[in-house]
Amino acid sequence: MKLIVSSDIHNDFGMIYKIIELYKKERPDYIVILGDISEFGEIEKGLIKKLTEYINPNKILIIPGNHETSEDIELLEKIYKIRNLDKRYIIKDNFVLVGFGGADVLLNVIDEKEFEEFLNELKKKINDKYIILLTHIPPKGSISSLDISGSYALRKFIQNNDKVILNIHGHMHETGGLEDIINKAKILNVAREVKLVEIYDKKTKIK
């Protein structure tokens, strides 16, 4: 499975064009935008339309960051037919892609208890599939965010579940591109980055 992943675009058309060019070259299964596509909920005119001119909207997965609310993303889903993955999951082959938006500041603050309950309920439904966590916030204590920000619930779930093979997040612009390992999972920060992630069995390759 191939993913193009990005976060914290903040109305930057340059990043949108990078996504489009990489999509043309690699033809991934999904484009994943991990929140903060906007500036405080205001999205530049034509930003998402430009993506959908080149990419099937059904292949574009998006969650809110801390610059958008869940309602903002629901509206984008309705208008542009892209897929809102916030608090939802998609099964693809032997993998499950799990989305959870929000962070620890500004417009969309995560409720840690709700996050923990969501993850625990998810585990009951997905059997033995490998888990890919797509979040805006990093796990607490990760090198990928220099432990400046993070979710305790997310870290606990990764530490206690060997089936989690990857957590891709954004939020921390200063550490975009950094990686970490927690338990069996690779942690990748794609804030202000555009990355190709290839996943085969339990192995991940990042370009």
**Whole-angstrom Cα distance, residue 1 to residue 131?**
13
For residue 10, the model assigns a pLDDT of 94
For residues 110 and 104, is the Cβ–Cβ distance under 8 A? yes
Q: Which one, of 83, 89, 177, lies nearest residue 133 by Cα?
A: 89
Phi-psi region of 205 (alpha: psi -120 to 50; beta: other; left: phi over 0): beta
Quote the CA–CA distance of 1 and 95 in Å, as a whole number.
9
Q: Output the DSSP codes for 28-44.
A: -SEEEEES--SBTTB--
In the chain, where the domains are located: 2-206
Amino acid identity, position 38: S
- Summarised one tens digit per residue, pLDDT across range 72-87 is 899 999 999 999 999 9
What homologous superfamily is domain 2-206 in, according to CATH? Metallo-dependent phosphatases (3.60.21.10)
Model pTM greater than 0.75?
Answer: yes
User: Using one digit for the tens of pLDDT, what is the confidence trace for 104-141?
Assistant: 766 777 788 988 999 989 888 887 899 999 999 999 87
How much is the pLDDT for 21? 97
In the block, tokens 């999972």 appear at 185
Amino acid (1-letter code) at residue 197: V
